[in-house]
Amino acid sequence: MKFIVDRTEAKQFEDGMKYIAIFDKDNKDWYEELKKFKTDTLKVMYNKETYLVLSTNIDATMIAPTMVGDVVEEIEYQEVKVNPNLYFVDGKVVELQNYETIKNGEIVFNRDKRIEEIKKELYDLRVERDIAPFEFEVDGVTYLQNNRSIDQSNLTRIVVMCQALKKTNFENWKFYTKEDSEKYVNLTIQDMMKMANIMQEQTTKSMAAETLLTHNLENLTDEELKKYDSKEKYEKAYKNM
């Protein structure tokens, strides 16, 4: 059963109460036609041009096709969650991904948009990995050290200062514990050089992993792009750097 709104008309009952009459191209009245829908099916209202789902309900009386081009069609019942990206395609209610569009009633894959979406995901993962804290051991105790740009700058500045003053130690460098409490520790120049190398290596690896994966995206098939798991791919690439 299917009803397509062709025109609407303002009318009134004998008692003077006004209402909007809804007709299809065969001049059939919606309020009569809705009685013909089955009771156990899902009624889907969607736009004839865009296929965007406007409403769903088992009860046809709860559907209100008031605009020309509104379509009400019944299908086998399926669970439908409220979502602004629902479309009616091939007799089913489907959720479109950001990289999909509807063309001539079919789902079309937007390859360029999907690639840009993945690039953004890889960039975010690179930034997250770049600044992630790493473990650093001093005198048998393991601490956590952030790898933000400010941490790298501070460490470089301190190393240069110590070398200029011929100092072999720096007092009260701030670390964190796994419980997120602050700990102030004295470091040797060797400790600081080692820490600087770890920071640089982490930054280099995080950028290299992103670059490798980004450059390979154009070589992937549409299906591979659709199923692409950015986090899984990035973590694997980072470990192999």
Chain segment 136-149, per-residue pLDDT in tens: 999 999 999 999 88
User: Nearest-CA neighbor of 151 among 192, 208, 210?
Assistant: 192
Would you call 158 exposed, middle or buried from its count of C-beta atoms within 10 A (0-12, 13-18, 19+)?
Answer: middle
In the predicted model, what is the mean pLDDT of residues 195-208?
95
Q: How many CB atoms lie within 10 A of CB 127?
A: 13
In the predicted model, what is the mean pLDDT of residues 165-179?
92
Please name every residue paired with 4 in a beta bridge, in sequence order, or none if there are none.
71
Is-above-0.85 flag for pTM? Answer: no
Q: Tell me the pLDDT band of 119, cut-offs 50, 70 and 90.
A: very high
- pLDDT tens per residue across span 48-102: 999 999 999 999 999 999 999 999 999 999 999 888 889 999 999 999 998 998 8
For the chain, strand residue ranges (E) read: 2-4, 7-12, 18-23, 42-47, 53-57, 70-75, 86-89, 92-95, 100-103, 106-109, 134-138, 141-145, 169-176, 182-188
- What percentage of residues in the chain have a pLDDT greater than 90? 82
Does the structure show a pLDDT above 90 at 13?
A: no
Q: Residue written as tokens 């007799």?
A: 91
* Domain locations along the chain: 2-109, 111-240
pLDDT at res. 24:
96
Residue 82 identity (one-letter amino acid): V
In the predicted model, what is the mean pLDDT of residues 11-27?
88
Q: How many CB atoms lie within 10 A of CB 89?
A: 17
pLDDT at res. 12:
83
pLDDT at res. 91:
92
Does the structure show a pLDDT above 90 at 33?
A: yes
Looking at every residue in the chain, the average pLDDT score rounds to: 93
pLDDT at res. 83:
85
